[in-house]
Amino acid sequence: MDINPPKCTDIDYINFLIAASNVFSCTEAARCYPDIANAPSHDAFTRCLQRQPPDTEALWEEVKSYVKL
C-alpha cells in the first residue's frame, strides 16, 4: 500500500503566514488556495504543523528581546 505524499509543506504555511493580514489559521490557509483538484485542505495544514518538531530554544532566541522578565 502506497502512502500519499503530503499536500503542503512547511514552506507553504510560512508563505501563507507572510501573506496573511488578519487570520492565521489552517482553515484560512486552505481557503487561500484556488479551487483546483487536489488542493490542500485545512487538515493537510494541521498535519503539516504536527509533523514539525517543537524547537523551543529557537523560539526563545527569537522572542526573548521582546519579553520583560
**pLDDT per residue rounded down to tens, the chain (69 residues):** 677 778 888 888 888 888 888 888 888 888 887 777 778 888 888 888 888 777 888 878 888 898 888
In a domain, 19, yes or no: yes
**pLDDT for residue 1:** 63
**pLDDT for residue 16:** 86
In a domain, 32, yes or no: yes
H or E segment and range at residue 29: helix 26-31
pTM over 0.85: no
CA distances for 21 relative to 6, 53, 56, 67, angstroms:
26, 26, 25, 24
Residue labelled with grid coordinates 492565521 = 24
**pLDDT for residue 6:** 80
Taking CB atoms within 8 Å and a gap of at least 24, the contacts of 51-55 are 51/6, 52/10
56: domain range? Answer: 10-66
**pLDDT for residue 40:** 84
In a domain, 39, yes or no: yes
Report how many domains make up the chain: 1
